[in-house]
Copies of this chain bind each other. A is one copy, B any other.
């Protein structure tokens, strides 16, 4: 509590714009008002500046969000991952998920690229590496990553969207629409879905699905490549190499 009170707000002077100050202000808005309130205009106002000034430092909103994702990934505590390949694979996937679980804007970042920030690439590497050490080919290992990525992104997308929808209509009886049909007469089995959907859906449940996915994919990999190195009998033109670029 030394010299940091209220500086980026209405003081209106002495803070030149830079990627760092822009990023900090954006983080503050994210913290205080949520991701749906982070816009270039709102951000400019927060910094007592104009929208265009921002475009002098970041190419567009997508780059700004990337910046935020990167900073978050970098600041995230970097745990020791287990050595045992399967455990390491699981832990990497879980870490990827946990990092993104704090980033509701990941849903929008996917607009620009379908991929995670550079600061988190080591996790992806670790994940793919572990899969290879579990006995998969490189190609299959990448595939494992992809399936995990889809699962992760899907869970987070659904979660964040629902959270946003709930916060927008604070308890208003508008969450019916399709959900109503679920709790309805002739679909008793599905009522289950509607009622507890996402209630305890967070960390534990994610892990459980992760384990199943990894289990299934590793088994698949073992099935396709039953010998350490015989003659690699996979010549059918199915999905060969296609190096291209």
Contact bitstring A51-71, B, C-beta under 8 A = 1, else 0? 000000000001100100000
User: Once the chains bind, are A62 and B177 in contact (CB under 8 Å)?
Assistant: yes
Q: In the complex this chain forms, how many copies of it are found? A: 2
Contacts of A199 in B (CB 8 A): 242
Contacts of A212 in B (CB 8 A): 147, 213, 216-217, 219-220
The reply to whether the CB of A18 lies closer than 8 angstroms to some CB of chain B is no
User: Once the chains bind, are B216 and A125 in contact (CB under 8 Å)?
Assistant: no
Q: List 29 A-B contacts (CB under 8 A).
A: A110-B161, A111-B164, A113-B162, A113-B177, A113-B178, A113-B179, A115-B179, A115-B194, A117-B178, A121-B182, A125-B189, A138-B189, A142-B192, A142-B193, A146-B193, A147-B212, A153-B157, A153-B158, A154-B157, A157-B157, A199-B242, A209-B217, A212-B220, A213-B213, A215-B215, A220-B237, A220-B239, A223-B236, A223-B238
